[in-house]
Amino acid sequence: MRTVTTRAELEQSLAQLPRPVALVPTMGALHAGHVALIAAARRAAATVVVSVFVNPRQFANAADVARYPRTLASDQQLAEAAGADLLFTPDADQIYPPNEPVAMIEPGPLATRLEGASRPGHFTGVATVVSRLFDLVRPNEAYFGAKDAQQVRVIEWMAAQRSDQISIHRVTTVRDGDGLALSSRNQMLSASGRVAAAKTIPVALSLIAEAYASGVTSVAMLRTLAERVITAEPSVTLDYLDFAESATLVPLSESAQIGDAAPGEVLVSLAAVVDGVRLIDAITLP
């Protein structure tokens, strides 16, 4: 595996590598969830490119950017072991050159609710950086985690607006032994915060899945089951627990039944704050 930091090095390396090319965009602090993305890309493509870039345009403030974990040495080892051919680790000037104005990318209709409402401008930053990476790497396909459910749908929408027909693939969420979805943000949790997150967030979603499997289809009843778990833990602050049609993210009303969603699949997404760290998770029903 080769590590490159500039656009020129990236272009030179890509010219020597076979196609098709798969891209795995990351912000670093790689973990087993990223390994799953790289492995999926490795099975499908001749060349796998992993990018590591903490994108300032998707954060609310500079302090959040500075706080994000950076573990480049271990990222290099993990990416190579997982099968990456090229690791692209640019600085901000390579993605957003001072002498080249970079237009912000419209994130589309799926970006208005949930994370879009809680974090104004977040998905504009996400769509912009992913579009920039697509322009630089020119991949045939790209891989994203299903945990970031709204993000992957926004990126699918954005990719569909482009002329290069990049295929977007969702990879199943990887969970730790305590059920918590793997996330680079987990590194910022205290020991007690980690315990609190694990006994609420995945448990709440599991309760919803189990109740639905046993025949409970009422949105209101499923919400009550989940919220009871989360509100019982004072160190966890729930931002939203949302039931929506999976493809369009149109919300289901409290009086709705799960089967009321037009194509049948419902996305249940959750965001909560623990130790000042925002964590998200999601499942689909059925």
Predicted pLDDT at 261: 65
Catalytic residue among 31, 34, 122, 169: 34
Task: State yes or no: is 34 an active-site residue.
Answer: yes
Tally the C-alpha atoms within 13 A of residue 239's C-alpha that lie toward its C-beta. Answer: 19
Domain 2-171 has CATH 3.50.30.20: no
pLDDT for the residue numbered 286? 84
Distance CA 72, CA 89 (A): 9
Calculated CA dihedral for residues 207, 210, 215, 217, nearest 10 degrees = 40
* CA dist., res. 158 & res. 154, Å (int): 6
Distances (CA, A) of 62 to 58, 118, 286: 10, 18, 40
Options 1.10.1270.20, 3.30.1300.10, 3.40.980.10, 3.30.420.10; CATH of 184-285: 3.30.1300.10
CA distance 129 to 102: 10
Q: What is the pLDDT of residue 61?
A: 87
Kindly give the confidence (pLDDT) of every residue in the chain, 286 residues in length, as a single tens digit, with 9 standing for 90 and above.
Answer: 999 999 999 999 999 999 999 999 999 999 999 999 999 999 999 999 999 999 999 998 888 899 999 999 999 999 999 999 999 999 999 999 999 989 999 999 999 999 999 999 999 999 999 999 999 999 999 999 999 999 999 999 999 999 999 999 999 999 999 999 999 999 999 999 999 999 999 999 999 999 999 999 999 999 999 999 999 999 999 999 999 999 999 999 999 999 876 667 999 999 999 999 999 999 999 8
Predicted pLDDT of residue 264? 73
Beta bridge partner(s), residue 79:
none
Predicted local confidence at residue 249, as pLDDT: 96
Distance between CA atoms of residues 118 and 275, nearest Å: 17
C-alpha–C-alpha distance, residues 101 and 227, integer Å:
45
Ordered by start, the domain boundaries in the chain are: 2-171, 184-285
